[in-house]
Amino acid sequence: MEEDHPIFCFQHCSRDENILCLSLPNHCPLCSRDLQTTQMLIPPFRLTYPFQCAIKSPCSVVIRPTHGSFLRDYTNSSNLHVGITNTKGSVYDYDEGGLHVHSPTWTSTETLTIPVIQTNDTMWSHTWNIRLEQWAMQQQWTADRYNDTHHNCYDFVLGFLQYMGLDKCLPCASNRTEFCAKMIVPKTTAAAKYISLYRKLYKDKVVIQTAAP
């Protein structure tokens, strides 16, 4: 499995400045003193990582860019690919190649996940797996029936949520546009902030931000 990509934050000599980095520099970018031998006001901690590996997110809608990865390739005009996980985190997804189960394209730690049901409810979990299997077995998920606009990965995922009757409590599951606006865009917006900071750090090594008062 791939490693995730942490961003660290610390304060050295000023309460007013947060120092962000991908790996700790030798010297403080503010006062130039050696970080190994001088005390920090706040030792390095990891910013919340917005992504997860699909295998760690059972019974969830999972999202990745159709091409490439979030940190390296994603822009707000990128196409997204969605799938759904069973109780063990195996992804079921549908694309122009047909239906895939547990495809290696989902091993990245850069996946956005939306948990749909609590997996500690064993009754529900059991039903989820059985119904997901039934849904995936249907003849409609073949490569030749794939269509970019009206029979695609969203139809597979939202169709499953409807098949589970979950559109009753999650009304946006009955409509792709609404589902994107209510469930996916909030996730990609939060991730975009992390992505832009990550890319800036990759280029500049260190970013100084004014600390919130």
Q: Indicate whether 211 belongs to the interface with Zn ion (CB under 5 A).
A: no
Query: Do residues 31 and 13 lie in contact, with contact meaning Cβ atoms separated by under 8 Å?
Result: yes
- The reply on whether position 164 binds Zn ion by CB under 5 A is no
Which one, 3 or 34, has the nearer CB to Zn ion? Answer: 34
Stretch that binds Zn ion, among 4-12, 59-67, 171-179, 186-194 (CB under 5 A): 4-12
d(CA 156, CA 135): 8
Among 12, 54, 58, 156, binds Zn ion (CB under 5 A): 12
| DSSP sequence for the chain | -------EEEESS-TTEEEEESS--SB-TTT--BTTTS--SEEEEEPPP--B-GGGSTTEEEEEESSS-HHHH--TT--EEEEEE-TT--EEEEETTEEEES-GGG--S-BEEEE-S-TT-HHHHHHHHHHHHHHHHSTT-SGGG-BTTTBSHHHHHHHHHHHTTGGGT-GGGG-HHHHIIIIIHHHHHHHHHHHHHHHHHHHHSEEEEEPP-
Closest CA to 172 of 161, 156, 164: 161
Segment interacting with Zn ion, rule: CB under 5 A, options 27-35, 77-85, 90-98, 165-173: 27-35
13 near Zn ion, rule: CB under 5 A:
yes
Q: Smallest distance, Å, CB 37 to Zn ion?
A: 12
Residues 31-50 touching Zn ion, rule: CB under 5 A, are 31
- Which range touches Zn ion (CB under 5 A), out of 30-38, 58-66, 164-172, 187-195? 30-38
Does position 30 bind Zn ion by CB under 5 A? yes
Shortest separation between residue 10's beta carbon and Zn ion, angstroms = 10
User: Taking CB under 5 A as the rule, does residue 173 contact Zn ion?
Assistant: no
**Is the Cβ of residue 13 or residue 172 nearer to Zn ion in the bound state?**
13
Closest residue to Zn ion, based on beta-carbon distance:
28
In the complex with Zn ion, which residue's Cβ is closer, 35 or 180? 35
Q: Indicate whether 5 belongs to the interface with Zn ion (CB under 5 A).
A: no
Residues that bind Zn ion (CB under 5 A): 12-13, 28, 30-31
